[in-house]
Structure 1
């Protein structure tokens, strides 16, 4: 099957200072005429990127990197769009779910399919930024979510680990509830549940769906496509195993309740493991349960944002951009990213992850067995918003599954 952390809310307004700084940076030429100046717009700040840039310039003394920054996600996309339409395009920039369709459609990104630095990139990372068989970005890491569990609380139900199947998971939740333990908690306040995306990945794998083609389907039917997965997930609520108050519980609230020993299991990603580990809690992390026995296990997850090269580069600028992406795929850069906590998926690179994350890393991250709905449909911003609102109504019981699916499909069909 061809096949990325959903972003939390960011400040709505674009800072004028950031935009002015970015515009100035992209128009600047190299102070030293003997050097090629490579402009790079990132949504990682300079503190994060400076070690990479310094090392790259040290290895390539004929190239100077002119760095600018805009935070993810809406601010970054607006800044990049302003620069592209204003003929101030950065030479290298970030391509991701929210902007890839527009960047590819409008011819702003270079086809990287046959570039040497793409040879060891994971197929799932390539699929993330592919269209019609061509790859337009280089993504080197990924994340996947899973079920984090309190070992002591599971023991009260006679369990040592999370069951492999969804039916087994539901049975464990019933045993925990009977033992006076709150079985499971998730957040619907920060975004839709992670579980249906995991189930949908397995479903598409079973049905041999080429997910890179979903963006071209008309009409877009993400609600209908995910109805089977959502129906399985909703058994948690239909059977009274999870509180419907999840619509008001944030990710931080969920994590706090878990750390305080108030709930046996939560669904989250690797970003929460450091603080859970620091709490001293005896915990583990398991892959998502299988929707049905016999399916391939998938998690909700995604490749990291990718590096893209501006399509109109040529000459020394293009050579410099190619060298920069080659460097970001080098052992030094990958090791630096791994040390920063990224789960590297480049073939041939041996990555170390937290012991608790090892099982999910091997089952889902390394083989690319993860799925994120918004990565593969048109207008992901619209999809995210409508799916969030309709899912909250579904969990509260004010609409049923058919109404949920139809509302999502109708909204997507109305967007041109």
Structure 2
């Protein structure tokens, strides 16, 4: 802009000098054609230089993205952001990550509530309905990826007839088995049911091994066990929607529904197969992975995204991720259309945000992301992981032996299965009785109904 102002001043000065010359006794020298041509060239060059300067100093949109994927769990996220930034020089995406165990949800909520929320953010599915109700999310039903989701995924993503967040993966919770540790103890395969699981844990305990490592600082590691046990009968029932409706109304007490899961965790702890106190100081996806990677434990409840951390911490470990062996006849997995990508309704950069989210949920991006997370693709035209480690979990998915750990059919203002399971199963791990956990959970639901 300085050059443009200087040129204008020069032209004004020339006009003044021309006027003064007209008033003098001598006329100004006549401008030749060559001089005119040269002046035009200089003017054109100055204009081009001014344009180039304006373009080079043009404002670049900085798009802030906030997520709970950190460290090894980031997977392909950095590469995808780098690719997007390269292809869109007018937009610069900056990603910040805080793990769930590190307080992601609290930080996210505080930022949004204060009006300082990031343009794009990842949402944990169990908290997303609350974020939507508070008005923090854009409806993304019109995004191109939606028509590529399966019916099941669309159902899981739809909340109050809109889609506040786009699913990046079908995430799976299952049970990791260290096959080398099992073999060393004389066990030739991962347990297929609860009876085998208990037998294997006893063998490992007698062999001086740790039967089960769990990260339950936020309740996750133990809730995987309790929720699978308690909610499987609900989802296998022909009247599951009626049962869920009754839980929402309080007619069917959720604490009573969760009782079998609480009792299972208490049983594992009382038998010495699971150290509840240690579990409560282990962050899920971090401390439990570090402990399991040491090679002294047989089993670890965890998510498919843990594989990246295990590959880094113990590249030579021989292990699998299979079903959670909490039933007498078989095992099952917990699933969710996990990592919901949302656009902040208060963002002043929604066009750029939509452009990034469309790229991030595109076929190539989703394939790369899913592969890096060792998870399953929510797009019907997408490719899921082909990692042999998760093949047993994939078999459970194909067999439809699964339970969603977050389901929008629940009124989370009353009953939030995943959050409640984490809180009250952690209480059991900390020494609370099953009866007290059931009683306290029922009381919480009753209070929620009164406050609604």
Question: TM-score scaled by structure 2?
Answer: 0.65
Structure 2 counterpart of 1:328: 360
Mapping of residues 49-64 of structure 1, within 5 Å: 51-53=79-81, 55-56=83-84, 64=91
Structure 1 counterpart of 2:48: none
Residue 120 of structure 1 and its aligned partner are, at CA, apart by 1.9
Aligned: 1:349 with 2:386 = no
SS in 1 for 2:314: helix
Q: Could you tell me which of 324, 333, 337 is aligned with 1:299?
A: 333
SS in 1 for 2:321: strand
Q: What stretches of structure 2 of length at least 5 have no aligned partner? A: 1-53, 99-103
SS in 2 for 1:202: helix
- Distance in 2 separating the partners of 1:186 and 1:328: 32
Q: Could you tell me which of 127, 144, 147 is aligned with 2:175?
A: 147
Structure 1's 38 and 191: CA in aligned 2 closer, same or farther, altered over 3 A? same
- Distance in 1 separating the partners of 2:148 and 2:312: 33
Q: Could you tell me which of 400, 405, 409 is aligned with 2:438?
A: 405
Q: Could you tell me which of 219, 223, 229 is aligned with 2:261?
A: 229
Structure 2 counterpart of 1:42: 66
Structure 1's 308 and 283: CA in aligned 2 closer, same or farther, altered over 3 A? closer
Given that residues 169 and 376 in structure 2 are in contact (C-alpha distance below 8 angstroms), is that contact kept between their aligned partners in structure 1?
yes
Q: Could you tell me which of 210, 214, 219 is aligned with 1:191?
A: 219
Residue 100 of structure 1 and its aligned partner are, at CA, apart by 1.8
CA-to-aligned-CA distance 1:377-411 (integer Å, 9 cap, x gap):
62699988875564345345542x23211212323
CA-to-aligned-CA distance 1:131-166 (integer Å, 9 cap, x gap):
244322211114323322233442355432122211
Mapping of residues 8-407 of structure 1, within 5 Å: 39-43=63-67, 51-53=79-81, 55-56=83-84, 64=91, 67=94, 69=96, 71=98, 72-83=104-115, 92-97=120-125, 99-113=127-141, 115-123=143-151, 125-155=153-183, 158-178=186-206, 181-192=209-220, 193=222, 194-208=224-238, 209-210=240-241, 217-219=248-250, 222-247=254-279, 250-251=282-283, 254-269=288-303, 270-271=305-306, 272-278=309-315, 280-293=316-329, 297-309=331-343, 321-338=353-370, 340-341=372-373, 343-345=375-377, 346-364=379-397, 369-372=402-405, 378=412, 390-395=424-429, 397-399=431-433, 401-407=434-440
Structure 1's 187 and 35: CA in aligned 2 closer, same or farther, altered over 3 A? closer
Instruction: State the number of aligned residues.
Output: 376
Given that residues 265 and 428 in structure 2 are in contact (C-alpha distance below 8 angstroms), is that contact kept between their aligned partners in structure 1?
no
Structure 1's 91 and 333: CA in aligned 2 closer, same or farther, altered over 3 A? same
SS in 1 for 2:165: coil
Q: What stretches of structure 1 of length at least 5 have no aligned partner? A: 1-29
Given that residues 39 and 66 in structure 1 are in contact (C-alpha distance below 8 angstroms), is that contact kept between their aligned partners in structure 2?
yes
Given that residues 37 and 64 in structure 1 are in contact (C-alpha distance below 8 angstroms), is that contact kept between their aligned partners in structure 2?
yes
Structure 1's 339 and 78: CA in aligned 2 closer, same or farther, altered over 3 A? same
Given that residues 237 and 395 in structure 1 are in contact (C-alpha distance below 8 angstroms), is that contact kept between their aligned partners in structure 2?
yes
Structure 1's 95 and 153: CA in aligned 2 closer, same or farther, altered over 3 A? closer
Q: Which structure's residues are more often helix, by fraction?
A: 2
SS in 2 for 1:356: helix
- Distance in 2 separating the partners of 1:284 and 1:161: 10
Given that residues 35 and 64 in structure 1 are in contact (C-alpha distance below 8 angstroms), is that contact kept between their aligned partners in structure 2?
no
Residue 298 of structure 1 and its aligned partner are, at CA, apart by 3.3
Question: TM-score scaled by structure 1?
Answer: 0.70
- Distance in 2 separating the partners of 1:212 and 1:55: 47
Residue 336 of structure 1 and its aligned partner are, at CA, apart by 3.7
Structure 1's 365 and 306: CA in aligned 2 closer, same or farther, altered over 3 A? farther
Residue 307 of structure 1 and its aligned partner are, at CA, apart by 2.0
CA-to-aligned-CA distance 1:339-365 (integer Å, 9 cap, x gap):
543524122222335422232245349
SS in 2 for 1:147: strand
- Distance in 1 separating the partners of 2:82 and 2:214: 41
